[in-house]
Amino acid sequence: MCLIITACTAAVFTLAFFVNKKSGGENKSIFMAMLMFWAASLMWSMDGVASVLEGEGFFDISIEDTVLGIIILASGLIVFMLHSVWQKRKAVSKKTA
């Protein structure tokens, strides 16, 4: 479930990034979150490959893995929000200086 949750979140942030870019904006927080979730998806994919090589299934649909995926999602969203606030404060301090 970690792979499914992070891949879906990465796709959402990718869509948000390209929509934002097409409208003329540049949001470093969205880009950072997009890369962060794609990197996590790649990591979980390699974990799935290792599981297959050990004779297990590619996807782990257990409740523990689902909880881990939700924790990863929440942590990534917290990092995204903190980075967004930091970027806004940085932009405001540049304007006042």
Q: What is the pLDDT of residues 5-58, one digit of tens each?
A: 999 999 999 999 999 999 887 789 999 999 999 999 999 999 999 999 999 999
Structure token digits, residue 5? 């949750």
Cβ 84 vs Cβ 26: under 8 Å: no
Structure tokens at 23: 């409208």
Q: What's the one-letter identity of residue 3? A: L
pLDDT in tens, 69-94: 999 999 999 999 999 999 888 888 87
pTM of the model: 0.87
Both tokens of 26, joined, read 């540049």
